[in-house]
């Protein structure tokens, strides 16, 4: 028996007196989302505006450089899934990130930044106190005031050195515990000795106090350390964004037909997963029901979706575009193809991480020499009877003047000048040692789609199609997101045609578009089978094979073929010719079909090409080239290229590349031209030459200044000035690169 009860929806929320019952305020929650396609300031503002207008959102903060958005929300009114859906409706692909992981990745950056700020503040204040002492006024100053200034400097310097110098102290302690020396050992020793000696001299009331040199040294060294740490944290953040692509919620279908939402990491092989149109697939599996177009660009690098139906295999990381499907999982979580690509890239990155920089090679013998010279100086002055104070001051001067700042700046100073020059020419370098490795390459390996080509299909036979037919096809194409439909629409707009979107258009996934005409019949835009071309004896086989899309007007008129091409970049052939003419080997590796790769290679002038290459096969080709003694530069843009980009000796990505490929590469080319690639190689080769010049300058500085310091002609303050002067000379030499005329 059923009862119909008229219920006041607000009754449960009122007290007995009729007053509204105050609901307890839920504690706001926050979520950090990775936004895959947030590429500009306009995107950032749109995301913030869309989420601010959504119900339950307390605050929104978007980060363009990290491609993330942090959202605080009321869990009673909304949730992470709803926020992701809201962004999807606005055209942004989002994935959830673990907040703790984000905090971990930024903790080291914040720690170094705090220490840098403390050192800078302390150095400025100590310098104010020291300037009156070291500017020639000491003889006119009362001893009590001079002593007060020294004690004030000590009160500032000692805790500053103890706090801000910890990164160097910890590094030095780690090296010493492992019975080895690094650059941080002489730095730490000089800091401790200079600070300790200055404290002793302050207690004794003497004039030679060097707190300003100690704190200033910490400040400038921390600047370089912070910049290096920021680069490492950025790379780690991109890896978290890739992991976010595997994170999310999936709809699982039970045996009784009921559905349940589960986290992607809880999915298991054998489960049936329902994937809606526009959703990302979180498992490798086989389609059980439904037919759709699959966007596999993240996996294959190809921009044209693949039509898939019952029995076809799909992979995690791909997107279901046009219709819902049910997938039976064959692999999930860490066993998917996406996870395998991640592991391949991590392995390749570790191999690249073993590359030893030229500065580290020099430091391998430099650090022991510094300590030996300091000890020899101290013992020699003690032996001649100068006393321990004079001996220690001279030894400290030797340690400071031999501080490897000029040596450490030899490569970075040139890199800064080189990256600034490249930035002005549309190239952004992302790896600290990328230019050094680029200078050694002799073979360039290109990906095809999105690298040599533009990555978007273009109508090739538009001049053969009447304006009436093109306009009618474009009217249907406005209702589809398929790349071919969008190419037809772009061609019609470029021809200046007035396009009126068609009504009541039905899209059949994997087939095409149709619209029934009120007077009878229907018009279609889609595959040859969909438009009945395969049964039309008037259409030649070669014409049917050459066309990718057909339009059939209402009333049974003749079908019109639409042929598309993924055109090469405008200067692709010229760039390849420039590289080949200067002695570089050029190879084309692509995951596309053989016919398309062969055509692109012939047009670009590339003789060595390989088609249908999976990510692991691309790495195999790179290893083959390496075994032949070649140093390879990989140029690619897709997620499937990321392992190869990381495995190659050097790598470059276009700006249109997915973020994980950009992070795996050493540099990013902006714009639609490939010509900046030749400029990058030329700059890299000059960078290496100027880096060696800077090493020579640093060596000459040490050859002149170290004997003077050991002979006692240099005080710790003069040593600090000389050390800074050597850095200035090295930097000035590096700046010449910004205006130099270069040829490949």
Active site residue 447: yes
C-alpha closest to that of 376 among 699, 707, 703, 719: 707
3-class DSSP assignment, residue 328? strand
* Residue where the block lists tokens 């490249």: 422
Residues β-bridged to residue 28: none
Is the CB of residue 446 less than 8 Å from the CB of residue 589? yes
Residue 174 phi, psi dihedral angles, 5° rounding:
-65, -45
The CA distances from residue 683 to 432, 686, 731, in Å, are 15, 5, 17
User: CA 533, CA 387: separation in Å to the nearest integer?
Assistant: 102
Continuous segment of H or E residues that includes residue 96: strand 94-97
Task: Residue 304: name the closest of 509, 562, 545, 566 by CA.
Answer: 566
Lookup: tokens for 181: 């020396």
Q: What are the φ/ψ torsions at residue 320 (nearest 5 degrees)?
A: -80, 120
The residue from 212, 293, 295, 447 that is catalytic is: 447
Other beta carbons within 10 angstroms of residue 711's beta carbon come to 12
Looking at the chain, how many residues does it have? 744
**Position of tokens 């087939």?**
511
DSSP per-residue letters across 494-542: HTT----PPSS-EEETTTEEEEE-TTS-EEEEE-TTTTTGGG-TTS-HH
563, 458 Cβ separation under 8 angstroms: no
As a whole number of angstroms, the distance between CA 307 and CA 321 comes to: 10
E-strand ranges in 24-82 read 29-35, 57-63, 68-73
C-alpha 293/C-alpha 454 separation (Å) is 21
Q: Residue 371: which residues within 8 A CB-CB, separation 6 or more?
A: 181, 185, 186, 189
Q: Regarding beta strands 443-446 and 512-516, do their DSSP bridges make them parallel or antiparallel, or are they unpaired?
A: unpaired
The single residue listed with the structure tokens 């490949």 is 744
Q: How far is residue 590's CA from residue 588's CA, in Å, rounded to a whole number?
A: 7
| Residues acting as catalytic residues | 447
């Amino acid at each position: 028996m059923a009862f119909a009860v008229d219920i006041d929806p607000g009754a449960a929320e009122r007290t007995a007196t009729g007053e509204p019952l105050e609901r307890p305020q839920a504690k706001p929650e926050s979520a950090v989302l990775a936004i895959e396609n947030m590429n500009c300031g306009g995107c950032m503002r749109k995301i913030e505006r869309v989420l601010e207008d959504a119900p339950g959102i307390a605050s929104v903060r978007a980060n363009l450089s990290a491609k993330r958005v942090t959202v605080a929300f009321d869990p009673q009114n909304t949730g992470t899934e709803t926020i992701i859906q809201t962004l999807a409706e606005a055209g942004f692909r989002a994935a959830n990130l673990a907040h703790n992981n984000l905090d971990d990745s930024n903790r080291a950056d914040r720690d170094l930044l705090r220490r840098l700020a403390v050192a800078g503040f302390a150095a400025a204040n100590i310098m104010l106190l020291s300037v009156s002492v070291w500017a020639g006024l000491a003889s006119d100053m009362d001893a009590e005031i001079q002593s007060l200034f020294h004690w004030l400097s000590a009160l500032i310097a000692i805790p500053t050195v103890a706090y801000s110098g910890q990164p160097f102290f910890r590094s030095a302690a780690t090296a010493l515990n492992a019975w080895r020396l690094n650059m941080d050992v002489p730095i730490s020793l000089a800091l401790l000795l200079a600070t300790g000696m200055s404290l002793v001299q302050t207690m004794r009331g003497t004039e030679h106090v060097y707190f300003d040199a100690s704190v200033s040294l910490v400040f400038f060294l921390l600047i370089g350390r912070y910049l290096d740490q920021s680069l490492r944290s950025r790379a780690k953040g991109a890896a978290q964004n890739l992991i976010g692509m595997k994170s999310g919620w999936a709809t699982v279908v039970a045996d009784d037909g009921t559905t349940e939402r589960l986290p992607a990491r809880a999915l298991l092989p054998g489960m049936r997963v329902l994937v809606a149109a526009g959703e990302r697939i979180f498992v490798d599996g086989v389609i059980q029901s439904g037919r759709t177009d699959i966007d596999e660009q993240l996996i294959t690098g190809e921009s044209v979706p693949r039509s898939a139906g019952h029995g076809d295999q799909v992979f995690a990381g791909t997107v279901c575009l046009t219709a819902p499907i049910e997938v039976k999982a064959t692999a999930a979580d860490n066993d998917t193809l996406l996870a395998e690509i991640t592991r391949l890239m991590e392995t390749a990155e570790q191999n690249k991480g073993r590359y030893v920089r030229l500065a580290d090679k020099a430091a391998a013998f430099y650090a022991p020499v510094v300590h030996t010279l300091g000890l020899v100086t101290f013992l020699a002055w003690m032996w001649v009877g100068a006393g321990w104070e004079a001996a220690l001051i001279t030894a400290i001067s030797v340690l400071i003047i031999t501080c490897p700042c000029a040596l450490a700046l030899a490569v970075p100073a040139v890199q800064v000048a080189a990256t600034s020059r490249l930035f002005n020419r549309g190239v952004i370098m992302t790896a600290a040692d990328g230019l050094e490795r680029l200078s050694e390459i002799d073979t360039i390996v290109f990906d095809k789609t999105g690298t040599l080509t533009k990555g978007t299909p273009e109508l090739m036979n538009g001049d053969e199609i009447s304006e009436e037919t093109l306009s009618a096809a474009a009217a249907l194409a406005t209702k589809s997101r398929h790349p071919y439909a969008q190419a037809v629409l772009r061609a019609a707009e470029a021809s200046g045609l007035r396009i009126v979107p068609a009504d009541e258009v039905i899209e059949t996934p994997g087939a095409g578009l149709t619209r029934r005409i009120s007077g009878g019949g229907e018009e279609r835009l889609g595959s040859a089978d969909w438009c009945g071309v395969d049964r039309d004896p008037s259409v030649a086989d070669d014409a049917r094979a050459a066309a990718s899309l057909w339009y059939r007007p209402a009333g049974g008129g003749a079908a019109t073929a639409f042929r598309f091409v993924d055109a090469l970049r405008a200067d692709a052939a010229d760039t390849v010719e420039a590289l080949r003419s200067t002695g570089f080997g050029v190879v084309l590796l692509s995951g596309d079909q053989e016919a398309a790769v062969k055509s692109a290679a012939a047009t670009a002038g590339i003789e060595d090409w390989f088609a249908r290459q999976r990510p692991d096969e691309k790495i195999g080709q790179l290893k083959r080239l390496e075994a032949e003694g070649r140093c390879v530069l990989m140029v690619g843009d897709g997620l499937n290229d990321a392992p190869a980009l990381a495995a190659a000796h050097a790598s470059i990505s276009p700006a249109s590349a997915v973020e994980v490929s950009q992070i795996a590469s050493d540099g990013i080319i902006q714009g639609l031209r490939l010509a900046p690639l030749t400029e990058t190689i030329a700059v890299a080769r000059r960078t290496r030459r100027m880096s060696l010049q800077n090493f020579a300058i640093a060596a000459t500085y040490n050859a002149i200044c170290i004997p003077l310091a050991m002979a006692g002609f240099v005080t710790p303050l003069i040593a600090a000035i000389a050390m800074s002067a050597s850095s200035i000379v090295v930097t000035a030499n590096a700046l010449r690169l910004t205006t130099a005329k270069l040829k490949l």
